[in-house]
Amino acid sequence: MFTVKATQHVLAVTDLEMTERYFLDVLGFTVRFQVEGWSFISLGEFHVMLGHWPNEMPASDKHEHSYFAYVNCVGIDDIYADYLQREALIFQPISDKPWGIREFGVATPEGHRIMFGEDIGDS
């Protein structure tokens, strides 16, 4: 039987050190390991591989294509309050959506966007 154990997203970033610091200090990720040009970080089972690509177009120039993850979670109000306190780059404030999800969105300094959502019935 097929089961998803975790997700791992790959992001090309122009400034690896700055992006890693933001994920660690603001978004609460931890470092799993690092190798030359790469940082493997996690927030629970949400894994991200940051790759240093200094000549790539920044995600902010990709507009709607800058979304890279939708994280289904529990305790969304807690993480939202934490991100507000840490001054995360929130581009979509938390709100209940007509499709039965409470969600909000954060961005990285380079413009990658992550959505967090919780089923309203799970609160």
The pTM is what? 0.89
Q: How confident is the model at residue 2 (pLDDT cuts 50, 70, 90)?
A: low
- Answer yes or no: are the C-beta atoms of 25 and 86 closer than 8 Å: yes
Q: Which amino acid is residue 7, in one-letter code? A: T
Q: How confident is the model at residue 63 (pLDDT cuts 50, 70, 90)?
A: confident
- The β-bridge relationship of strands 101-107 and 89-96 is antiparallel
Residue 3 backbone dihedrals phi, psi, to 5 degrees:
-140, 135
Look up residue 21 and give its two tokens. Answer: 């610091």
Q: How confident is the model at residue 106 (pLDDT cuts 50, 70, 90)?
A: very high
Q: How confident is the model at residue 65 (pLDDT cuts 50, 70, 90)?
A: confident
Residue-level pLDDT at 3: 66
User: Does residue 12 carry a pLDDT above 70?
Assistant: yes
Cβ partners under 8 Å of residue 109, min gap 6 = 15, 18, 19, 22, 89
- Answer yes or no: are the C-beta atoms of 75 and 86 closer than 8 Å: no
